[in-house]
Structure 1
Amino acid sequence: MSVVRPPEPSGTVLHGGVVWSPGDDLDHHAVAVHDGRVLALDEDAVEWGRAHDAEFVDVAGRFVMPAFADGHAHPLFGGLESDGPQVRAQTSVDGIVAEVARYAAAHPDDEWVVGASYESSLAPDGLFDARWLDAAVPDRPVFLRAWDYHTAWVNSRALELAGITADTPAPVLGELPRRADGSPLGTLREWGAVDLVTAVMPPRTVEAQVGALERAGRHYASLGLTWVQDAWVEPEQLDAYLAAAEQDRLPIRFNLALYADPRRWPGDLGVLLEGRARVQALGRPRLTANTVKFFADGVVENATAALLEPYTTEPDSRGMLVWSPEQLAEAVAAVDAHGFQPHIHTIGDDAVRVGLDAVEHARRVNGDRDRRAVLAHVQLVDPADRERFHELGVVANAEPLWAQLDSLMNVLTVPRLGDRRAATQYPLASLLGHGARLSFGSDWPVSSAAPLEGVAVACSRQTDEREPAAGWTPHERLRVEHALAAYTSGTAHQAFRRAGTLRPGDDADLVVLSGDPRTVAHPRDLDTLAVTSTWLAGRRIHSATEGQP
């Protein structure tokens, strides 16, 4: 006896709640989606649904909006963190060491003990000693990345295998802090130093990386995210992405920023072109590689961010430019000429200026076009440079969760910058006021991937404890609508996507929230809202409770 199955619905209509789109003056009550696109709103959506036998989903008074998108993150790193010792949750050096010892004992066959992301502020000046890890694992190498992924902490066995001794010179683009006798301490700053150890580590298998990407994608979907900019992809990681896409194991959309290394430039240009060609040849809609990543500088916490004025704690240093201004300008122009989108890590105000100068050079050399170059992080932006984002069409990508006076800020950042300069960090409202296109990201796993946590800080400039009471630098707080737009239409603009709003023809990527963010009594409580469901191309890919809209 054959079973007659009902036909698949020809589309979906979400109704019964508030439907909101960035930039709209009015709220809506229904949205219709079909074939991966938004079709109509309000009565037009309802009428279309009835005429085409669509599935009607009652969201029961909840809040429907475009899905979030993350303009700067590291999904593979985040997915891999679950494979090692869980050091992120530890609140003391002793706690980290104990967790490393526990993991090593439970995994006696692991050749290396590898984990992330420890809290740098747990040791004075962020300096961690190899001998502390030796107490936990003396016979096998240990490699831990700090939360910032610009710093690592290793034990003596790892130093030995990497050949790092008192006689090892300071590496190009890196620092090796030393003890008083000249021996290496065990902290590695920036990739020139970190690479000395990673060069002797066994690579992760492709399958392990594919599994990590799959976990990361599911995590993002649970947070209402459907598109992520992976902001640092090297050939090994590209292989993993290609394998995951070919196996249909990418739960959401990813765009890859292929990494340009000044130590290998201009030879890297061919590698970048080949990498993009491989992704295009595979032809999977959830994977693109349209972007090239540059590091202009490091991070304030290491005193490697490039500043216009010296560090307060190190008056002879203004940090580190990874590329010379001339080299960066030529490299940005070169990738721009091949149609890549430049994506430049810029923390310090000098790095921001150098990044803007590089984009201006690319425009001068290659002509004026809609290139949407991205400056990521924009922690310090000199007032003289804020208008230039609008003038050059540069996207200001910020990680809003960082704009708070938490322990990291108080212990490592403010002392290095001084109070005056520290109070100018993350000028989000100022950049918007100067006409900049603002997009938001998380830099996960550096910080939480949850967009609502970032929105809560962007709108309050407060910690979880609501400190300070008036908000830190309250003039830089954003309205809720502007913060949500930065995580939706702002990132869609960055991505060259027709998405981020609910205009007919946009990608039907949606998120349903438990309540209306605009009516939350205190902005710091925005992260108490829950993601009820996430929709990619009109299909539900996550539901907080099975069957829940």
Structure 2
Amino acid sequence: MPDATAMAVRDGVVAWLGSDEVGRAQYPDAEVVDLGGAFVAPAFVDSHVHVTATGLALTGLDLRSAASLRHCLQLLADFAGAHPDGVIWAHGWDESGWPERTPPSTADVDAAVGDRHAYLARIDVHSAVASTPLRRAAGLDDAVPLVADAHHRVRRAARDLLTATQRGTARRAALDAAAASGIVSVHECAGPEIGGLDDWQELRATDHGVEVVGYWGEAVTGAAQARELIEATGARGLAGDLFVDGALGSRTAWLHEPYHDLPEHCVAPTGNSYLDVAAITAHLAACTEAGVTAGFHVIGDAAVSAVVTALATVVDRFGSVAVARCGHRLEHVEMITGEQAAALGAWGVIASMQPAFDAAWGGEHGMYAQRLGAARARGLNPFALLASRGVPLAFGSDTPVTPMDPWATVRAATTHQTPGSAISARAAFAAATRGAWRASGIRDGLTGTLVPGAPASYAVWAADAFDVSAPADAVQRWSTDPRSRVPVLPRLDGPLPRCLQTVHRGTVIHG
């Protein structure tokens, strides 16, 4: 919103928007805030987060900066030396970008931390490496790779060693970071194998200005069970990270054809499947009958095929209107065909996606190309394809996998590394605001915009990213039609906007 425009807020709602003096005169007693050239835009929503895990990365050891195996182990040793007590919780190593292309081993970790309990999650959080004492605590020997159930067991053992104070501090750090990024709501993807019910209930009880919408990833087989689970958890839906498969980086995403870079003695050349078509169908049918949002974590092409097959069965049984009414959602959905996308669009299924994945791992030589080969990798995260088939998009970060940085998310969606897969900045911004609100079931046509009657949820951004005195062609005008409700917003080919203040429903939650 350029500085010539004013906005009036009353009782947490946008009451007026305009630039005329007659309109301003309606509020003679208003408190006037001069933004000094800064600009205002609707606040962001992150459609896929893990709050406690994000906070543990912020307050613990973040290994995303590790440039090599040696660097990773040095960071680990330094952290262990500076924090002599308690479990070491680390996140973010990614061997696909290291010169060695070799992940840490148990022996490597033991050499760095001694007899400490140490848990080091890979960046996608679908595999890990752990110290020998932590493996023993989880009942695992040195030969078991930490993927699938073994990973869940060792992560649970590490989580059990955290204190309530550590968990609480981590959650608050994560939510503070969200508010400081211009985010007013996050979709927590919880579940029995992710953080457990205790973690989810503790998060629900956390008093913070960032609104937490929760999804519980546990499969059901009947409508009564679905209703009972919603009542017991207080979740918005039985969706989120209900795993059909794993992740490409850990070679646990479920594929039709084997991975391109299989290590020796690989026992699962096409990845892992955690739910079959029958189980997926039962869950979708139960939730549809109960009127509950269902959804799945689904990445590989075989996993997508299984979910689309199950959805077709449920649509045949209940009808497309009943299915669309539930707002079922798929997380990630990275490998999908045009025919499958058209089906999802016709059934009103929402795709909750992470553009930062392509920015981090796309391209001819990125991790996707390593795992799948360049030809298959070019088809990943096809935002334009999905949008063209009518699939509603919601954007998030999957933090701590990638950072909560919504402007970087918008930029990544507009600069996809595969030609033809990017979407417009206007569409990307909508997916990170209105689209994410819609994914959580709010479809009033107002939330996520700044028009009279809309909730006053917005962020104020530094003026150095939006120079209203610059020539007209220096400002990226994403929409010239006011009916689109997308404001004039900054170019993103330079420094990204810096958040000065975040307001949710009229209450300042940052700045």
Shift of 1:79: 0.7
Structure 1 gaps of 5+ residues are 1-14, 19-28, 166-182, 281-287, 462-471, 544-549
Which residue number corresponds to residue 291 of structure 2?
339
Residue 519 of structure 1 aligns with an amino acid whose one-letter code is V
Alpha-carbon RMSD across the aligned residues, in angstroms, is: 3.1
Pick closer, same or farther for the CA change 1:519–1:383 going to 2, 3 Å. same
Stretch moving more, 361-370 or 208-217: 361-370
Shift of 1:329: 1.2
Pick closer, same or farther for the CA change 1:62–1:523 going to 2, 3 Å. closer
Q: 1:164 aligns with which of 140, 148, 162?
A: 140
2:460 paired with 1:512 = yes
Alignment of 1:515-530 (within 5 A): 515-516=465-466, 519=475, 525=493, 528-530=496-498
Which residue number corresponds to residue 393 of structure 1?
348
- State the aligned residue count: 477
2:454 paired with 1:500 = no
2:250 paired with 1:309 = no
Alignment of 1:324-403 (within 5 A): 324-367=276-319, 368-369=321-322, 370-403=325-358
Pick closer, same or farther for the CA change 1:46–1:359 going to 2, 3 Å. farther
Alignment of 1:119-518 (within 5 A): 119-121=94-96, 122=98, 127-165=103-141, 184=143, 187-190=145-148, 192-201=149-158, 202-234=160-192, 238-240=197-199, 242-243=201-202, 246=205, 248=207, 250-260=208-218, 276-277=230-231, 289-293=236-240, 294-314=242-262, 317-367=269-319, 368-369=321-322, 370-404=325-359, 406=361, 410=365, 412-461=367-416, 472-497=417-442, 498=444, 499-514=447-462, 515-516=465-466
Q: Report Cα offsets for 1:466-488 as digits up to 9, x if no partner.
A: xxxxxx22212222111111101
Pick closer, same or farther for the CA change 1:189–1:247 going to 2, 3 Å. closer
Q: Report Cα offsets for 1:13-57 as digits up to 9, x if no partner.
A: xx8627xxxxxxxxxx23332222223322689737734733232
Contact 1:300 1:413 in 2 (8 A): yes
Contact 2:217 2:296 in 1 (8 A): no
Identity %: 27
Shift of 1:92: 2.1
2:51 paired with 1:72 = no
TM-score, scaled to structure 1? 0.78
Residue 90 of structure 2 aligns with an amino acid whose one-letter code is G
Contact 2:48 2:398 in 1 (8 A): yes
Shift of 1:232: 2.4
Pick closer, same or farther for the CA change 1:335–1:415 going to 2, 3 Å. same
Structure 2 gaps of 5+ residues are 468-473, 478-489
Shift of 1:150: 0.6
Residue 254 of structure 1 aligns with an amino acid whose one-letter code is V
CA distance in 2, matches of 1:356, 1:400: 22
CA distance in 2, matches of 1:155, 1:278: 36
Stretch moving more, 222-231 or 366-375: 366-375
Q: Secondary structure at the match of 1:78?
A: helix
TM-score, scaled to structure 2? 0.84
Shift of 1:379: 1.4
Q: Report Cα offsets for 1:221-261 as digits up to 9, x if no partner.
A: 1111001111124496554454455462x230011111216
Contact 2:216 2:233 in 1 (8 A): no
Which residue number corresponds to residue 482 of structure 2?
none
Pick closer, same or farther for the CA change 1:16–1:60 going to 2, 3 Å. farther
Alignment of 1:82-121 (within 5 A): 82-110=58-86, 112-121=87-96
Residue 438 of structure 1 aligns with an amino acid whose one-letter code is L
Pick closer, same or farther for the CA change 1:321–1:139 going to 2, 3 Å. same
CA distance in 2, matches of 1:474, 1:407: 11
Shift of 1:196: 3.0
Q: Report Cα offsets for 1:486-517 as digits up to 9, x if no partner.
A: 10111111112241122433221112223459
Contact 1:35 1:538 in 2 (8 A): yes
Shift of 1:128: 2.6
Pick closer, same or farther for the CA change 1:41–1:425 going to 2, 3 Å. same
Contact 1:49 1:55 in 2 (8 A): no
Shift of 1:408: 9.7
Contact 1:533 1:542 in 2 (8 A): yes
CA distance in 2, matches of 1:275, 1:212: 26
CA distance in 1, matches of 2:26, 2:99: 63
